[in-house]
Chain A
């Protein structure tokens, strides 16, 4: 187990290095400097040069990369060339919004998607199963920002139940929760459909296993067989997908953040890219990549808690290795 963990940690570090290398290469290729992009005609050639020097863009890529990693190791993500503020503090400001939105969307998706998937599997071929299949595919197919606009029209304009803007001005908890409902729903709907379909397929496979038949033959209740024995095993592919989903939502909820004018890592990266504010892009992407790999590492480790066979296989492969 320890060997497995160590190898995963090494992979994690390599992924982060690879991502940053790619990012630095791109920043060397993409034209434009923040002074010109941000200030327009106010940007003199001297100012553009100064911004370039401040960002270290006058240095070769390998030197910039080296300096960046040295700084990161000392806890310094650099300085935003536009505001002069540490990138770390900008990320700290917006990361709670991203984490809350991501985990509430995934939580909601699990809460609704898993029971729907189980229901569809246990009522295979019924009208409701077919309706659920149709609705799930529809939710998966429609992009989250389109869902966001429809939700706004229905709940904020026609019904006037919920606010349009996705972040509170006052920071009051009740207001924040209220403003989070629609963004969460917009992100979660697609995942609800996806999880429902995935759980249904896995459940159908598991429900056909001999041990389920044996459990039924022993007279165990259908509820116990379905939820305790079948669902536990059927959940493994779902957990894998959830790990990827959480990772993607951490930096990829940009469109929903823009539609709801909600702060977040995705929006921070998007604006930093359009302003060619590379220190912010690099710092924020590093955080997203790190969160992504950590979440997936935790997901991998959770398999063994759910399925002892995986733990056994891992230790075997570890011993063999």
Chain B
């Protein structure tokens, strides 16, 4: 018989010892702490405002850099940031004066009007010296240039008036002020080693892991509450759930269905916030039989939006009846709320001479869309429309409407992110976007005219009316079945007070605080 030097008692002792070590070293879940960890679901790659790839990077940039103006905490309303004063002196000229003593990190000196000029023009004007063109060039549409008057003063000169310049440009990612000297010195490295003057400084950025922000000691404005914010890239919702329970994550935004189980977890707060993203079922008006208005109206009447939302979002997402959600200027409060009416849908189809219709419904292969598509298929079957659901992964889906490929689409469900500006949201539906993002291929010269006029209209009341009229045209086309502006569910430690611009696409890390 052989004997082992490692017996059962040794084994159990080792296990117990290991358990004790880890039990003692378990992550602290109590708070408040001076540092928090938040979850993002997309990886951070580029922190240069000119070449950012999405809102998750914008959220970091808006605290690393300053802007002339910024959103107030938990509001879309603007206040001064780097500017001591900003004045619209004419529809096409904006003058600004910087606060003195705003220092860039890493010894890159004080912010000047020349840095503002450099920051805006490198995005909005054609690139010089072979530099890469910014993906966000259109943000600065109509920019003629920035004139520097002296160290702190300058003028932004436009070729045409812009109603949304403050909300979606000056106070957003494309309004971030970088150090000219740092960009020129660091070159391509600037994207991962940014130099700003904002409330936080980037101390680490690692692909697939995330970033760490530390309070910027030289920041001239109000000191943020948290000394350090670790931003962790966790793509999987289930892992996020577990990390919130274990105390490794302190804040995350989840889909309603993913957040539901966390409501019962002690020490966590689950808070629903309406989003400004918009989800709809679109129809290709260029392709028969959807080219017939009556067929589109029939489909709209055959669908039951509320039922689709129960399937897609557990009923936790608010219904949308028009393009613009209630938080946005120009929301059409009186928009018709369509109820399912099978008899009328059938009679419209009969009048159009459409029988035994077979249509393809293109969706992204995500649970919410798949569930809504299955409900739509069942509802449309009741009026004699057979639907084949075509679920595609992101890369293929987002290219489906491009060029001539887009001509083959029948129905689709899609989602776009919004901003606090009606024109930003309306821009994808103009005729110029056919073959690009206007997958309905809807061509309305009246809509296009209202879009152009409202974009340059500085009077809010008149602009609101134009935007409502534009939404009425969309409704008349019956090419859109508005579904929801979604809900973001914020899950966080109860001792945290999170902050974000309503709609929660834009987070305000510097305004995160302690719950009172």
Question: Hey, which bits of chain A sit against chain B, CB under 8 A?
Answer: 30-33, 35-48, 50, 80, 82-85, 90, 93-94, 149, 152-153, 156-157, 159-165, 167, 169, 178, 222-223, 258-261, 263-264, 267-268, 271, 273-276
Closest B residue to A262 using CB positions: B208
Asked, given contacts A36-B399, A90-B207, A258-B236, whether A84 binds B2 with beta carbons under 8 Å apart, the answer is: no
Q: Which residues of A contact B417 (CB under 8 A)?
A: 40
Q: Which chain A residue has the least Cβ–Cβ distance from B416? A: A41
CB contacts (< 8 Å) of B396 on chain A: these are: 30-32
Does B499 belong to the interface (CB within 8 Å)?
no
**Which B residues touch A276, using CB under 8 A?**
395
Q: Which of B1-52 contact A (CB under 8 A)?
A: 2, 18-19, 22-23, 25-27, 37, 43, 45-46, 51
Which residues of B352-405 are within 8 A (CB) of A?
A: 393-396, 398-399, 402, 405
Partner of A259, one of B26, B210, B239, B394: B239
CB distance from A303 to the nearest CB of B (A): 29
B135 in contact with A160 (CB, 8 Å): no
**Chain A residues positioned under 8 Å from B238 (CB to CB):** 149, 259
Residue numbers in B under 8 Å from A37 (CB-CB)? 394-395, 398-399
B51 vs chain A, min Cβ distance (A)? 7
Whether the Cβ atoms of B394 and A152 lie closer than 8 Å is no
Q: Which of B176-220 contact A (CB under 8 A)?
A: 188, 191-192, 206-210, 212
| B54 contacts A38, C-beta separation under 8 Å | yes
CB distance from B103 to the nearest CB of A (A): 27
Of B209, B233, B395, which contacts A274 at CB under 8 A? B395
CA distance A161 to B21 in the complex (A): 8
Cross-chain contact B22 with A161 (CB below 8 angstroms): yes
Report whether A83 and B46 are in contact in the complex, using a CB–CB cutoff of 8 Å.
yes
Q: Given A164-B248, A169-B37, does the pair A32, B136 have CB atoms closer than 8 Å?
A: no
The smallest beta-carbon distance between A225 and chain B, in angstroms, is 11
In Å, the complex CA distance between A258 and B239 comes to 8
Known contacts A31-B396, A258-B236, A41 near B135 by CB under 8 Å: no
Which residue of A has the minimal Cβ distance to B212? A169
Decide: A164 near B212, CB < 8 A? Known: A43-B135, A94-B207. no
Q: Is the CB of B135 within 8 A of A263?
A: no
Residue B245 is within 8 A (CB to CB) of chain A in the complex: yes
Complex contacts, B436 vs chain A, CB 8 Å:
44-45
Asked, given contacts A39-B135, A40-B417, A90-B207, whether A165 binds B243 with beta carbons under 8 Å apart, the answer is yes
A43 contacts which chain B residues (CB < 8 A)?
135
B236 A32 Cβ-Cβ under 8 A: no
Q: Check B287 for interface membership: any CB of A closer than 8 A.
A: no
Query: Which listed residue (A32, A82, A156, A261) contacts B232, Cβ 8 A?
Result: A261
Please name the residue on chain B nearest to A41 by beta carbon: B437
Residues of A within 8 A of B46 (CB): 82-84
Interface centre among A82, A149, A156, A267 (most CB of B within 10 A): A156
Closest 6 CB pairs of A and B: A32-B395, A263-B208, A161-B22, A83-B45, A261-B234, A164-B243
9 additional contacts (CB under 8 A) given A32-B398, A152-B239, A165-B234:
A38-B54, A40-B398, A50-B133, A157-B245, A159-B19, A161-B18, A163-B248, A165-B232, A263-B209
Produce 1/0 per residue, B429-468, CB < 8 A to A. 0000000110000000000000000000000000000000
Q: Is the CB of B51 within 8 A of A84?
A: yes
